[in-house]
Amino acid sequence: MKKISFVCETTYNLFIAIILLFQLKQIDDIDVTFFVRNNRIKKELIDNLKTLKEINNVKEFNYSIFNDVYEKKLITVYYFSFMNYVFPFYFFNKFLQNKGEKYKFDEIYIAFPDMIERLLVRLNAKSKLFFYEDGIGNYVEFTKRFPLYTCFTEDLWSFIHFRKNKWKNVDGIFLNQPDCFDYDLIEKFKINNFVGNNMVENALNTVFSTQENTENYYSNKMVFFTQPDDKSPFLGRSYKEIEIKIINMLNNEFHDSIIVRIHPRDDSIIDNVKVDNSNNMFELMAKDYVDDETIMISYFSTACFTPKLIYDKEPYIIFLYMLFDVDQLYRDSYKVFLDRMKKLYKSNNKIFIPKTDDELIDSINYIKRNNT
């Protein structure tokens, strides 16, 4: 029996991993272990995950042992990072709060190579390594991220242990829309559409069964998706102020039809606006809620693409990245992806990229006139 593992850092990772799990089970008889980050994925979701009979083990991890380290001098941080290379087995179990358990897998599936993913790969140098979709980042940032995976320290560690650098020998990436992925040095695989697959839908409903306040969406056809707090390195220090300013402006103009969906990693408090803090799995809600008249607004959120990628629905999308002080390199990447994304749409007038506040308001009014 083939032993495989999924590492899930976020709720979206968990959603995609469950879908991919059933796809792989159609091909092979597999023993499955999920590693889930318990300070980003809610406890009730992890408890629900443990009830799925298709999963053999669920292990929880977090990076709490780093909390003190990063408050110390830079040399301490480098020393701690170096020790991760020297003692990967120790630190891997430290993150899992285990006492010396060994984990050997034939295949490893990750969305992003954070610390525990790197350790798991070092401890399984002969296993196959696959990426799976991590949201919009795979499509617009992968070529920027990938040099991090193939850095000098990984080369050195591999050389010392007489092994190939696995990050230079990735076996593939699973995506909802491979045609929109522009990195040709990795083999691309398509994630099967799960709609109509009762086993997958039942598993997703089991894990994400705690949906709350969904009625708020059905009475508001305009959704604003905030960005996580940890996006500040990419969007600039003032991006939260800009985001809240835009939200208040839209609320003043369209109070009766807008709801703000707070990102799970966003601690913003927004007053006098209809807000969804429930952290429902929007990717599941979109099946029933989103239609061709829905307006989805964000800086550049994965959730805006989900209705098309998964359900072949075509809501209006308004991306706001031109209103933020973001590097031109990112703007160029977004444009390349959007050009590919627009080709998937049957209608060519449903994606808007305003350059000013006035253009944003005009775009929404234009959409509303078309919908009446």
Q: Where are the domains of the chain?
A: 2-207, 215-371
Nearest to 188 by CA among 131, 253, 127: 131
φ, ψ of residue 213 to 5 degrees: the values are 55, 30
Distances (CA, A) of 148 to 80, 155, 193: 18, 11, 31
> Over the stretch 286-332, which tens digit does the pLDDT of each residue have?
888 899 999 999 998 888 988 988 888 999 999 999 998 887 877 88
CATH 3.40.50 fits 2-207, yes or no: yes
The CATH topology of domain 215-371 is: Rossmann fold (3.40.50)
Residue 297 backbone class (left: φ over 0; alpha: ψ -120 to 50; beta: rest) = beta
Sheet arrangement for strand 172-175: 57-61, 30-37, 2-8, 107-110, 128-132, 172-175, 188-190
Sheet arrangement for strand 275-276: 275-276, 258-261, 222-225, 295-298, 316-319, 351-352
Distances (CA, A) of 362 to 254, 321, 357: 12, 17, 9
> Over the stretch 189-231, which tens digit does the pLDDT of each residue have?
999 999 889 999 999 999 997 556 566 677 788 999 998 866 5
| Proportion of the chain above pLDDT 90, given as a percent | 40
> Over the stretch 158-178, which tens digit does the pLDDT of each residue have?
555 555 666 677 899 999 989
* Distance (Å, whole) CA 308 – CA 314: 6
Does residue 254 have a pLDDT over 90?
A: yes
In this chain, the answer to whether the domains covering 2-207 and 215-371 adopt an identical fold is yes
- pTM value is 0.87
Does residue 155 have a pLDDT over 70?
A: no
* Distance (Å, whole) CA 78 – CA 48: 38
Give 145-196 as a 3 state SS string: HHHHHCCHHHHHHHHHCCCCCHHHCCCEEEECCHHHCCCCCCCEEECCCCCC
* Distance (Å, whole) CA 149 – CA 158: 13
218 half-sphere exposure, CB direction, 13 A CA radius: 8
